[in-house]
A = this chain, B = another copy of it.
Amino acid sequence: MKKFLLVFLGLYAISTIGQTEKLNLMPWPQEVIVGEGKFTIASNFTISVNNNNSERISIAATKFLRRLSGRTGVFIENGFPVIASEAKNTALEISYDGIGKLGINQDESYQLNVSATKITLHAATDIGVVYGLETLLQLLNNSATSFYFSEAKINDFPRFTWRGLMMDVARHFQPIGVIKRNLDAMASVKMNVFHWHLTDDQGFRIESKTYPKLHELGSDGLYYTQEQIKDVVKYASDRGIRVVPEVDVPGHATAILTAFPEIASKDTVYTIERNSGIFHPTLDPTNEKTYEILGALFGEMATLFPDKYVHIGGDENEGKHWDENAHIQQFKQKHNLKTNHDLQTFFNIRLEEILAKHGKLVMGWEEIMTDKMPTTALIHSWKGVNEGVELGQSLITAAKRGYNTVLSNGFYIDLMQPVSEHYLVDPLPKNNNLTAEERARILGGEATMWSELVTPLNIDSRLWPRTAAIAERFWSDASVNNVENMYKRLDYVSFRLEELGVDHIRNRDVILRNITNNQPTESLEVLTKLCEPIKIYSRNAGGVEYQTYSPFTLFADACTVDAADSFAFKKVVDNYVENQSAPNLNALTSFFDSWILNYKMFNALHKNPILSSISPIYTNLNAISVSFNEALEQGKVNKEQLQKIEGLLKTLETPVVDVELAVLNDFQKLYAFLVQNNKTIIAPKTNSLKQ
């Protein structure tokens, strides 16, 4: 008799027993029933589809076979899916009702049924099938002698219709290969909107055939040709992903003004911006030429991007150059535009009209939401604590005022905050006092990858695996919010992203080899597991520490948020503070021993200026490890020892080479414990502790 275990609606966190323990599904499906059966992967594995009308399924099913083969080493004899009418008794039977349309509020559901002898996947559209195939791959498991899919019945559909990732390719250009591997990664966690931030002060990245000056003068030669853009749009669509392009205007437009200074609000010479931050250059909304150029540009874009929405930016336009321009001031008076905000609304509405002619709707950062802005506009909520307002304030306001809206505050993955913080942000918190109609206007959210500090070498390690947890927030039920369980599954999802070419794991060692000049990197690896890049906007204070062409091959670039060993060390400290048993003591001193040993290895490296710059962290880590070990193994600490530790803690608080010690809190906790208990620590000084 089979046993089934129903696991759904977030109750899974309580129900994780038996087979479900092994499931590393992410995003967690709406309903999962797990059995004990196994569908074994053999070389005769085959896939049938009820028809061959869907290129999406053809591509996804073929890729599925390659990935399955790659993971299992099974030489699958039939490398391509077949049509059901021509195949008997295929392992995986796919059926769908129709070709999916990319857009909001589409049916994205699928039903997956894995038994020991047969797998069926049904969906309303081929997009649901693409999602179901990803879930099936996540069901892959193994024993010593076989690979198999775990028996399961899954009924799944997304909570939010807008599950986006924004990528800024203006501040640092990202080649097509980077875009494509990240679209694959997005698809693997069922995200469906790629928001392409294509222009900013630092670059204009779209080939314009009407105004080639735009990409010729605004991009340092780093732009996407129209053919490449079409290719990306097709690639995304094959994966069920919409592409929403952004041309950020009227601010953040220095690159445009580099090509067309005549539509600037200030008569000066413009060059591509190399720093980061908020700059004064802004388009002149009173100049008809502005609309002529943007009109033609949006016309070109309308042919490249089939999506209903075009993002016009609209953020952080300070209007300083408007204030300084007499003509603009006269224009405001003449048109009864009281504030710069009013003037920008005038500009936005002109753009809205231009886009409407091309059948497009406006999306814009929350600043575009003004009294006169039509409610057809989609409001992109981005401000929060850093900007002095409550997280998602504009989201609620927008929903109440009749706008569709999407949340990005809380999902700024460039800020290097722990993924748990993003994970617990809900676009639609439980205690909202919205009507059902208002709630429906909250379409979902977007993680934002601003690119001041990323290049193709390190961008994946900022995006992944973190974005997968955010994808779960957008897809899964609100009650799926157990952080510990999320971290456990995230580890597995992270590793599996490698097969899609995502290089977040492998590139760490590339950076370390560069830093060491090809010497052994082990000691630095240990350090990357303890250090994290400094957070929020601290790494690039004022936006002028790093230029767009600064090196991003530094130690901070090898480090990531959620430093791997910090979790384990926290546990060890907590255990010890709770109970000073010999095993707990040993676990703690083992960490210190390892850091002391690795410091020796680090010191043995031939130094160069980069290595030398890292030295202070390691020296202090070593010193505090020695002190802690002394104190712990001695069983007692005297005042001098405590003072020494206190001093080191103080020193370690200051970031070095743009990283901070992720275990500092635990050091402080341990120190506090020592201070409190400095007479009573029991620690037999025998070697037998260290086994």
Contact = CB atoms under 8 A, between A and B. Distances in A.
A184 to B, nearest CB: 12
A612 interface: yes
**Interface magnitude class on chain A:** 35 or more
Given A175-B177, A274-B79, A608 B144 contact: yes
A73 B609 contact: yes
Interface in A57-113: 59, 62, 65-66, 69-76, 79-80
Interface stretch (A29-37, A304-312, A502-510): A502-510
A421 interface: no
A609 B177 contact: no
Contact of A71 (B147, B503, B553): B553
Interface in A546-583: 546-554
Nearest to A221: B59
A518 interface: yes
Contact of A610 (B72, B177, B228, B505): B72
A19 interface: no
A144 B612 contact: yes
Nearest to A507: B506
Contact of A79 (B176, B495, B547): B547
A653 interface: no
A145 B609 contact: yes
Contact of A607 (B79, B144, B499, B505): B144
B506 A553 contact: no
Contacts of A274: 79
A227 interface: yes
Interface string A495-517: 10011010101110110011101
A588 to B, nearest CB: 22
A613 B515 CA distance: 37
A498 B510 CA distance: 7
Q: Which 7 A-B pairs have the closest CB atoms?
A: A79-B549, A177-B177, A144-B607, A506-B506, A227-B227, A70-B553, A495-B518
Given A72-B551, A505-B510, 12 more contacts: A59-B221, A65-B549, A69-B550, A142-B517, A142-B608, A144-B606, A145-B609, A146-B609, A147-B609, A498-B510, A498-B513, A503-B503
12 contacts: A70-B514, A70-B553, A74-B551, A79-B548, A175-B177, A177-B177, A498-B510, A503-B503, A505-B510, A506-B506, A506-B507, A506-B510
